[in-house]
A and B are shown apart, each in its own frame.
Chain A
Amino acid sequence: GEDVEQSLFLSVREGDSSVINCTYTDSSSTYLYWYKQEPGAGLQLLTYIFSNMDMKQDQRLTVLLNKKDKHLSLRIADTQTGDSAIYFCAESPLPGNQGGKLIFGQGTELSVKP
């Protein structure tokens, strides 16, 4: 079945690193995504990783994928108050998903304290 799980809350201090974790169930997923949602706004794609990779780095963001454990994480280095938002993990499962349907987790609310 298709299911994505995330912890609901994370609180860090400004300047620290944040690590947001996600587990998924569909091993056929080819792409896994991290989206950011700020209050009153739509979702913004932060980064994605292809399933044959185990790490991807993009400036302050590092994505780690453990395909064996179906575990995905997003690390934000030097977390700033502007990073406070809800972060969603999403998978794009196969087969039959030619359209690119996304399955989202319930979101992790990141709170950054000055």
Chain B
Amino acid sequence: EAGVAQSPRYKIIEKRQSVAFWCNPISGHATLYWYQQILGQGPKLLIQFQNNGVVDDSQLPKDRFSAERLKGVDSTLKIQPAKLEDSAVYLCASSRMGGPRETQYFGPGTRLLVL
């Protein structure tokens, strides 16, 4: 079974530029999560989708971050415009269904550096 795929693996941009990350979850997984992991910290949930609907986006900085999951499969996370403090690893995870009993499987992450 293929794991969660993410691209690109690395991205370097200047502040005020835009950037987009892509995630392909495990086939058949209804729930998709985007986490932000700042260096030296644990991951923090940004947004959670159940199929193509948003379950939780309370921690997403909506003035600059947006995410979508068209057709309930792949997802993109966008930052526009980027700030220095957005430098982090962006992790995508998926689970079969939502809920605390479901194992979340993580992708390798996209490492973003904002200069």
Contact = CB atoms under 8 A, between A and B. Distances in A.
Interface string B38-75: 00111111001010000110000000000000000000
Given A31-B100, A43-B91, A104 B48 contact: no
Contact of B91 (A42, A90, A97): A42
Interface size class on chain B is: 20 to 34
A43 B55 contact: no
Nearest to A29: B100
Nearest to B109: A42
Contacts of B103: 45
Contacts of A45: 103-105
Contact of B42 (A4, A31, A42, A44): A4
Given A31-B100, A42-B91, A106-B41, A100 B31 contact: yes
Interface of A: 4, 30-31, 40-45, 88, 90, 92, 94, 97-102, 104-107
Nearest to A32: B100
B4 interface: yes
Nearest to A4: B42
A106 B40 CA distance: 7
A101 B45 contact: yes
B100 A30 contact: yes
A99 B101 contact: no
A47 to B, nearest CB: 11
Contact of A104 (B44, B98, B100): B44
Interface string B79-111: 000000000000101010011111111111100
A45 B48 CA distance: 19
